[in-house]
Amino acid sequence: MNMDFNMYMNDIVSQARSEIREAGYTELTTPEAVDEYLNKEGTSLVMINSVCGCAGGIARPAAKHALNYDKLPDQLLTVFAGQDKEATEHVREKATDFLPSSPSFALFKDGKIVDMIERHEIEGHETMSVITNLQAWFEEHGKEI
């Protein structure tokens, strides 16, 4: 059996992108799009997506299921580490107090970083633990829906 690695990876990336978009997140693929959305007033949750196992098994499910809550940020956004490199780097430039990691979540308010859930807080943890952390942000910084 001969499998084309690039075709295989494209399928994985496509599925990972689709999962987060279907959950309601807006995909940002350029630095300009990052600026356009993060410069808006209000709160923004940015999921820094990736193809690793903890992204697919923990982070993306948490990103989706955390939305079953009474309060939410104004915007749900995502960039894809390793794929949309310039957009991801631009988000990371806005969060210089945190080391780059993926998957991760960044909470912004009025374009300024508030907090991050980094990879070490996702990998090896239960999905529910990540959901609880996201919903704590929503409770403090979100708006009633």
Active-site residue flag, 102: no
Active-site residue flag, 52: yes
Q: Which residue out of 16, 54, 67, 91 is catalytically annotated?
A: 54
Q: Which of 66, 63, 68 is nearest to 26 (CA)?
A: 63
Radius of gyration, CA atoms only, the chain = 15
Q: Which residues contact 50 (CB under 8 A, 6 or more apart)?
A: 16, 59, 80, 81, 82, 102, 103
For residues 75 and 26, the answer to whether their CB atoms sit within 8 Å is yes
For residues 73 and 141, the answer to whether their CB atoms sit within 8 Å is yes
Q: Which residue out of 20, 52, 106, 131 is catalytically annotated?
A: 52
Q: Which of 111, 112, 109 is nearest to 142 (CA)?
A: 109
Q: Which two tokens stand for residue 143?
A: 């708006």
Q: Which residues participate in catalysis according to the annotation?
A: 52, 54
